[in-house]
Amino acid sequence: MASLTLVQAINLALTQEMEADDRVVMLGEDIGKNGGVFRVTEGLQARFGADRVIDSPLAESGIIGTAIGMAMAGLRPVPEIQFEGFLGPAYDQIVNHAARYRTRSRGSVTIPITIRVPVGGGIHAPELHSDSPEAIYVHTPGIKVVMPSSPYDAKGLLISAIRDPDPVIFFEPKRIYRAFREEVPEDEYTIPIGKAKIVESGNDLTVISWGATVLQCVEALDKLPEDLSVELIDLRTCYPIDQDCLIESVNKTGRCVIVHEAPKTCGLGAEIATIIQEHCFLSLRAPVQRVCGFDTIMPYYKLELEYLPNADRIAESILACAAY
Partner 1 sequence: MSAATAPTMPKMPSSETLKQAGRVGSSPTPSQLLPDATLIRWLRDMMLIREFELRTMAAYQQAKIGGFCHIYIGQEATVVGTFAAVNHDDPVVTAYRDHGHALARGMTPEACMAEMYGKLHGCAKGKGGSMHMFDRPNHLYGGHGIVGAQTALGAGLAFAARYDWEVLNKAPGAPVLDGSGHPADRPRTPAGKKVCLCYLGDGALNQGCFHESLNLAGLFGLPVIYVVENNGYSMGTSIERGTTMAHNLVLKAAGYGIEGIEIDGLDLLSLYDKFKPYADRCRENQRPGFVDLKTYRYQGHSMSDPQKYRTKEEVQKYQERDSIDRLAAVLMSPKGEPAVGGHLGRGCLSEEQFKDMQREIKEEVRLAVEFAEQSPSPEAAEELYTDVYANPQPGLSSIRDYHHGVRNSLL
Q: Give min distance, CB of 28 to ligand TPP, in A.
A: 10
CA–chain centroid gap for 101, Å, is 23
Contact between 62 and ligand TPP per CB under 6 A: no
* Closer residue to ligand TPP in complex, CB, 80/153: 80
Contact between 127 and ligand TPP per CB under 6 A: no
Q: Give min distance, CB of 81 to partner 1, in A.
A: 12
Contact between 179 and partner 1 per CB under 8 A: no
Please give the positions annotated as active site: 129
The binder of partner 1 chosen from 43, 88, 165, 185 (CB under 8 A): 88
Contact between 49 and partner 1 per CB under 8 A: no
Contact between 86 and ligand TPP per CB under 6 A: yes
Q: Give min distance, CB of 90 to ligand TPP, in A.
A: 9
Cα distance between residue 58 and residue 253, in whole Å: 49
* Closer residue to ligand TPP in complex, CB, 86/301: 86
**CA nearest neighbour of 67 among 76, 58, 143, 165:** 76
* Residue 312 contact among partner 1, ligand TPP, none, beta carbon within 5 to 8 Å by kind: partner 1
* Residue 219 contact among partner 1, ligand TPP, none, beta carbon within 5 to 8 Å by kind: none
The binder of ligand TPP chosen from 17, 60, 164, 234 (CB under 6 A): 60
Can you give the binding site for ligand TPP, defined by CB under 6 A?
29, 58, 60, 82, 86, 89
